[in-house]
Structure 1
Amino acid sequence: MTGAGAVERRDRPWRDPMAVAAGLRRLDGPLALLSDGGALGRWSFVAAEPDRVHVGAAGPDGSLDRLRNPDFAAGVVGLLAYDFGARPATGPREAVWPDLMLARYPAMLAFDHRDRRVRVTGRGGDADAARAAADRAEAWLAAAVDPACPPPPADDFIAEASPDAYLAAVADVVDRIAAGELFQANIARAWTGGLHAGADPFDVMLRLAERAAAYGAFWRLGDRAIVSNSPELFLTFDPAGRRIETRPIKGTRPRHADPRRDAALAAELRTSAKDRAENLMIVDLMRNDLSRVAAPGSVAATALFEVETYPTVHHLVSTVAAVARPEVGAAELLEATFPPGSITGAPKHQAMKVIAGHEPPRGPWCGSLFHIEDDGRMTASVLIRTASFQRAGGLWRFRTLAGAGIVADSDPAAELAETDAKIRALREALAGG
């Protein structure tokens, strides 16, 4: 199969995508891009058994030349690690995750949450191969199982550094901002642990099912896996209209069990001068990044300071859109904008240097998971609310992080509390409590 091969599509009745994904979890390379079915999450995608895989370097000199290969032009899912994008600022660091993971899926199921239909897609070098791939994808619908929510798959959820270390890091960044070194930096905390014998990362995905986000994901390639419950869009790119869109998140409040207090927290976030200023810095940064690949005069903030509510937090979200220049595709767009501004800071290059002074390499966390469809349409999420897993000796170990954007008037204790609110859903999915 190549990017110019045959494609066969069929429409079938609705099945729950999580149930279909559960039926494929033991196959090679299982993938589930599971949305919440909301305004930003109309489609979910499930697949397995990729026929092309790349795990390793992204390309020479910081390029993404692998994405320019016709073999990875359609039916492709990729993960770009944060440290790949940060390296020009930080220099070489310990490699904790491959720079780029790519997999091409000849057979794929797309679940339309709005119309309650399933689109079966088969791709191949000719019509017979495409038909066989579609048959294989259709058989996955019949293999669906309704999974029960498993018990917590881990006992341990261990912080890599003490809360005091995080407080000191925040205070240092505030001092650097006061000295004029930068305006904002996203500083994170990390937690690690191991899964029980017999448990695997898909169990964590099942435990997050009731807290689904627009860009949820489970993906396993060999002895690596990720589980993401991200609400944040990094980029969409529609080649037909050349439209690019990004939706940076900056500004957070925890949810509250009392509805009146919960509404007050959302209102406080909406009117917070600090959070609006923090958000606007990243909007300006993303406008600058997009201008590198956009038609002149086409970059615009189309929405500012909208409050979006999730199971454990409220977030402040803005939207920036642009029209891509004719020569721009997925590789050029990612090269111009990665890593996302919302999880680095401003100026981006200096923020990444400051982050590296306080954190070990991040790996996939705050990188991007992206999906390229047959028409070249790309959707890329920011890998927040994400745990990465690596298997050794038959057992899985995990690492997960949560960060906060530090600005001039940040209070270290409040930023620490924000990381606790952000990690809550993953902590409960992994270790209960």
Structure 2
Amino acid sequence: MPAQPTMQPLHWKFTPETVLAHWPRQRALAALATGTADGRWGRWTVLAEPSRVVTAMTAEDALRVIDAASTDGATWIAALSYELGSAFEPRAYPRHRAPADGWPMATLACCEARLLYDHESQTWQMSEQAAGLAAEIHDRVQRGERDDCRAAITRLEPDITRAEFESMVARAVKLIHAGDMFQANITQRFSAHWQGSPRAILRAAMHAGRPRYGAYLETKTHALVSMSPELFVEIDRVAGRAITRPIKGTRAFHEDPRELLASSKDAAELHMIVDLMRNDLGRIALPGGVRVTASRKVESHETVHHCVAEIEAILRPNTSVVEMLRATFPPGSITGAPKVRAMQVIDELEPVARGPYCGTVGLISPTAVTLNVAIRTIALHHTDANSGTLRYSAGCGIVAESQPRHEYEESLHKCAVLLRTAHALTASVGAQDS
């Protein structure tokens, strides 16, 4: 994350977890949170009090809102739904479905009052507008005034049966063998009910998942808790450079990551997506300005191992955020290749629109853009003030060698972080009641 303008040192010894636990309940909250302290890719946490939140329900309105936010000189935390891609490539969404549960195409929170934590140096900074917020949090910590909000999540249930998911995978494999495409990312949705406070779910999720690219946004009707391990794009808007780090290939954390690295199937999955994303970035890069800086390596997370690549691009001068999205969104790692055909197959096979899942959440500022791939993401819809519906989706990259039963099991591995979150909530309630 390039340097943020108008930031001042804040002489705290608090952790981000402590600050979240003492965040005043009456103050709005938006966050970009990492739990890894992993140098280059897990360095920064941003905690902010949005001054306003803007939503857009159509793709066309979303583009107008994004363009305005990315050029107004303010700092925003944005969540963009997968279906926003229909503004760029309508052919990829033949059913023209809107996000489920009334999710907007775009939600953007203006975050001029923000606190920035550097996990590497263990130091805080604050914007000028955050002085009052910082003073209140400091006083609450000193007095021990925690926000002891609670939450509970019911048992997570798949929306479709195992047989139905495996049938979708088998259909995708058949299309690959027929030459329709090389790869498609096929997903299934799980549902539960929640009650209590979305912020309690956020705190439990950050503890359970320790994501590289975690995020949180709340409105009166929805809240989004993302525990993503994957970087969609990071742009230094001053230097005109972009980086993407696609993930392909997964093993449960208890399995040997060397087996993942040795898998030719998983290597092929990632290679296809690297080629796709090189092509996407090439649309906005200077001639010869795209290069692969890491072709494949293993990264370990709290519940899984992944393989990741890294691609860098030198952008054409004055490339806008909307132009970047037009060239690259939705992320190639959660679509497939060729991209448009894979997305058409996704639209045909998956029974519900993806909404915020497989979209992106992240930072848009005058100097930087940092957006995740919104996987491992909890979507909360309020049916009343303190309860509602929870959605969580997971899927797999399908290639010619894919076996439906193995892909189903991989999708369950990707639910482990949510199960750990639910367990952490239960343990927290037990501790508070004891």
The two structures share one fold, judged by TM-score above 0.5: yes
Q: Tell me the secondary structure at the aligned position of residue 380 of structure 2.
A: strand
Correspondence 1:426 to 2:418: yes
Letter of the aligned partner of 2:185 in structure 1?
A: N
Aligned to 2:388: 396
**CA 311–55 in structure 1, closer or farther in 2 if over 3 Å, else same:** same
Offset at residue 204 of structure 1 (A): 2.1
- Give the drift of 1:151: 7.8
- Equivalent position amino acid for 1:67 in 2: D
Where does structure 1 lack aligned partners over 5 or more consecutive residues? 1-5, 123-129, 257-261
Task: Report SS of the residue matched to 2:285.
Answer: coil
> Structure 2 CA distance, aligned partners of 1:82 and 1:296?
29
Partners of 2:57 and 2:419 in 1: how far apart? Answer: 31
Task: Give the 3-state SS of the residue equivalent to 1:297 in structure 2.
Answer: strand
Residue 351 (structure 2) pairs with residue 368 (structure 1): no
Q: 2:155 is paired with a residue of what secondary structure?
A: coil
Range with bigger deviation, 57-66 or 38-47: 57-66
Contact 2:59 2:86 in 1 (8 A): no
Contact 1:183 1:407 survives alignment (8 Å): yes
Q: Distance in 1 between matches of 2:307 and 2:134?
A: 38
d(CA) in 2 for partners of 1:24, 1:180: 54
SS of residue in 1 equivalent to 2:257: helix
| Structure 1 residue identity aligned to 2:201 | V
Partner of 2:110: 104
Name the residue aligned to 2:93.
Answer: 90
Number of aligned positions between the proteins: 408
Q: Which residue of 1 aligns with 2:183?
A: 184
Please give the per-residue CA displacement for 1:46-98, whole angstroms capped at 9, x wherever unaligned: 112x2232111466398455333467532211111011115611142144211
Partner of 1:205: 202
Which among 286, 290, 304 is matched to residue 295 of structure 1? Answer: 286
Distance 1:138 1:382, change over 3 A: farther
Q: Report the alpha carbon displacement of residue 214 of structure 1 after superposing the two structures with TM.
A: 0.7
Letter in 1 for 2:202: M
Q: Which residue type is aligned with residue 110 of structure 1? A: L
What is the deviation of 1:188? 0.6
**Residues of 2 paired with 1:303 and 1:292: CA distance?**
21
| Contact residue 251 and residue 269 of structure 1 kept, 8 A | yes
* Alpha-carbon separation, structure 2, partners of 1:95 and 1:428: 27
The answer as to whether partners of 1:63 and 1:335 remain within 8 angstroms in 2 is no
SS of the residue aligned with 1:354? helix
Whether 1:343 and 2:343 are equivalent positions in the alignment is no
Q: Call closer, same or farther: CA 1:115–1:152 in 2, change over 3 Å.
A: same
Pair 61,226 (structure 1): closer, same or farther in 2 beyond 3 Å: closer
Of 397, 409, 416, which residue of structure 2 is paired with 1:417? 409
Q: Which position in structure 2 is the counterpart of 1:126?
A: none
For 2:414 and 2:391, the matched residues in 1 are separated by 15
Matches within 5 A, 1:181-330: 181-196=180-195, 199-208=196-205, 209-256=207-254, 262=255, 265-330=256-321
Q: What residue number does 2:48 align with?
A: 47
Q: Which amino acid aligns with 1:46?
A: L
- Structure 2's unaligned 5+ residue stretches are 427-434
| Backbone CA RMSD of aligned residues | 2.3
Amino acid at match of 2:55: V
CA distance in 2 between counterparts of 1:148 and 1:8 reads 27
Overall identity of the aligned pairs, in %: 35
CA contact (8 A) 2:21 2:148 kept: no
Question: Given the alignment, which residue of 108, 112, 118 partners 2:124?
Answer: 118
> Cα offset for 1:34?
1.3
- Alpha carbons 1:185, 1:345 under 8 Å: kept: yes
**2:62 and 2:105 in contact (8 A); partners too:** no
Kindly indicate whether residue 26 of structure 2 is the aligned counterpart of residue 23 of structure 1: no
For residues 353 and 367 of structure 2, the distance between their equivalents in structure 1, rounded to whole angstroms, comes to 31
On the 8 A contact 1:155/1:431 being kept in 2, the answer is no
